[in-house]
Amino acid sequence: QGTVVLAATPIGNTADASARLIALLERADIVAAEDTRRLYALANRLGVHVNGRVVAYHDHNERDKSDGLLDQVETGATVLVVSDAGMPTINDPGLAIVRRAIERGLPVTCAPGPSAVLDALCLSGLPTDRFCYEGFLPRKHSERVQYLRTLRSERRTIVFYETLHRIDDAMADLLDVFGPNRKMALCRELTKDFEQIRRGTIAQIRQSVIDEPPRGEMVLVVAGASEEEADAAAPTSLSIEDLAVLSI
């Protein structure tokens, strides 16, 4: 019996490729890659020859492809799953094969490595002992605001992925919903030559986005609500006794 290996790939700096990733790229029987051209480009930069069969494995086909790949695992193959950058399954393909492997009782493991979530969290300077990862915010303004409202009383540090095209609107909505004074960090181009971390209040970062629009890839890390903010944002909860008193 073989195994499925989810492997992290660099998020900008090729030197972050682990020795294990390199060995797996050389030795895996099948490499399931989000974008096969990007896989070969990475292998090229690493000076690695991919000996196994390479198949496209992305958001649109991962459900259909997983069982076929797992059939190969059953016959002894090592199937390496890689996305374009960072950890598969973190806003990237991979979860479908993990789920099916669990259902079919087949082994699945990780060759861990870079992921923008943890990189940004650690560099933000905000509490790291508890945090929540919120991925990408909804694209539509009304849905984004509604979603952010559900996070107003969240006490943990909150990590969002964001894109160049929506950063301006996202910052306006963050300011609107969380207010000007919460601390946050905008972490861009992590591990790359032009890595930049902007730290400040939501109002300051919003202004910096207007003054100097950030380019490249970015992650937003926002401080959790203080106790007072959480209390103020939480819907008032009434106990049965309170309700009984009110109804008298």
The residues that touch ligand SAM, with contacts defined as CB under 6 A, are 11-12, 83, 85-87, 90-92, 115-117, 161-163, 187-192, 217-219
Which CB sits closer to ligand SAM, 2 or 94? 94
Contact 69, 18 (CB under 8 A): no
Would you say 55 or 95 has its CB closer to ligand SAM?
95
CB of 125 to ligand SAM, least distance (A): 16
Q: Compute the least distance from the CB of residue 19 to ligand SAM, in Å.
A: 19
Residue 108, classed as helix, strand or coil, is strand
Looking only at the bridges linking them, the beta strands covering 30-33 and 78-82 are parallel
Residue 6 is inside which H or E element, if any? strand 3-7
Expressed in percent and rounded to 5, the helix, strand and coil fractions of the chain are: 40, 20, 40
State which residue, 163 or 181, has the beta carbon closest to ligand SAM.
Answer: 163
Residue closer to ligand SAM, measured from CB, 122 or 232: 122
The nearest distance, CB 52 to ligand SAM, in angstroms, is 22
**Dihedral Cα 169, 171, 177, 183, nearest 10 deg:** 170
Query: Least distance from C-beta 148 to ligand SAM, angstroms?
Result: 17
The three-point CA angle 37-219-21 to 5° equals 40
**In whole angstroms, what is the distance from residue 90 CA to residue 17 CA?**
17
- As measured in angstroms, the least distance from the Cβ of 51 to ligand SAM is 25
Q: Is the Cα torsion angle 202, 206, 212, 213 positive or negative in sign?
A: positive
Q: Which residue is nearest to ligand SAM (CB)?
A: 86
Nearer to ligand SAM, 113 or 200 (CB): 113
